[in-house]
Structure 1
Amino acid sequence: MPKLHALELVPDEAGQELVRRDWQALRDAGLPSQLDHRSPTNAPHVTVVSAPELPEAAVDVARTRLGSLLPVRARASGVLLLGGDRVTIARALDLDDDVVRRALAVRVQVPDRQHVGWLPHVTLARRVDRSSVQLALDVLGHRDEVLTLTELRRWDPDLGAVTWLAGH
């Protein structure tokens, strides 16, 4: 699988702490957690688009359409299970329609993007065995939280670098 470049929205410190609390709870329960991802750039985020390459047009549209809108409130409104035998666990995010329209305007600039459509979420754990899903749900609970997305960044896996596009 090729390395994927990404445009991401990042929550403020309070929002990052909420997500890291979930990461820690999963780890404390002996489950996979995004805390296990040791990259220094690993931080709670919402991926707007990811692809093997990001055209500069997409970066420009993201900076203009999304960056100018920050900060944005997002309600973490439930838990998602994505995948097959092993699942990704994530918090689903409710966002204002204008934010969704702007994110879609960015996504259409990227012809080789991963995934059709956009399902805004914050990943909590990857590669969780299906037999552990109920434990993960019990650990995470069902509370709703509000995150404030304050920054827009670009992840370049070829350089191992983050470039801040707005709000930083």
Structure 2
Amino acid sequence: MPRLHALELVPDDAGQDAVRRDWQRLRDAGLPSQLDHDAPTNAPHVTVVSAPYLPDEALDVAHARLGALLPIRARAAGLLVLGGSRVTIARAVDIDDDVVRRALAVRVQVPDRQHVGWLPHVTLARRVDRSLVQQVLDAVGHEDVVLTLTELRRWDPEKKFVTTIAQA
């Protein structure tokens, strides 16, 4: 599978700290955590779209439609378990309908995008053995986290580089 380019909404420092506390709780419990992914560009984020290639039109639409809304208030609420025998654990992100409509307007500009529709979320851990799900849920708890999304960025896996598209 090719490495995927992505457009991501990134929370402010307080939101990043809140998500990183979840990551740390998992690590402290000896469980998989996004902290295990030690790349310098690894930061809590909500992926708008990911694909093998992001056309310039999609970046332009993202800048105009989503960048204009920054900062965006959202709530990381319930927990999601995504996948098969090895799962991704994430916090679902409740976000305003206008943001959803604008994100979908960006997504339709991207051929070969990963996944249909949009399920906004913040990933806490990947490749978790399904037998550990209850331990993960116990470690992170159920407390909602308010996020203020202040940056729209592009991840380029080939260059291993992040570019800010818009910022509050």
Alignment identity in percent?
79
Aligned to 2:138: 138
Aligned counterparts of 1:82 and 1:130: Cα–Cα separation in 2: 10
- Paired residue type of 1:44: P
Q: Distance in 2 between matches of 1:27 and 1:145?
A: 19
Deviation string, structure 1 residues 52-101 (Cα, Å, up to 9, x no partner): 00000000000000001000011111000000000000000000000000
CA distance in 1, matches of 2:28, 2:144: 21
Is 1:152–2:159 an aligned residue pair?
Answer: no
State the partner residue of 2:2. 2
* SS of structure 1 residue aligned to 2:142: coil
Quote the residue 2:95 is aligned against. 95
Query: Quick check: 1:42 aligned with 2:46?
Result: no
Partner of 1:163: 163
TM-score with structure 1 setting the length = 0.99
Give the aligned partner of residue 117 of structure 2.
117
Q: Which residue does 2:106 correspond to in 1?
A: 106
Distance in structure 1 (CA, Å) of the matches to 2:22 and 2:144: 12
- Report how far residue 104 of structure 1 moved: 0.2
Q: Report how many residues are paired.
A: 168
Q: What SS does structure 2 have at the residue aligned with 1:99?
A: helix
Question: Offset of 1:150 from its aligned partner?
Answer: 0.3
Query: What stretches of structure 2 of length at least 5 have no aligned partner?
Result: none
Q: CA RMSD in A?
A: 0.7
Please name the residue that 2:83 is paired with: 83
Structure 1 Cα separation of the partners of residues 142 and 34 of structure 2: 19
- State the TM-score, normalized to the length of structure 2: 0.99
Q: Secondary structure at the match of 1:8?
A: strand
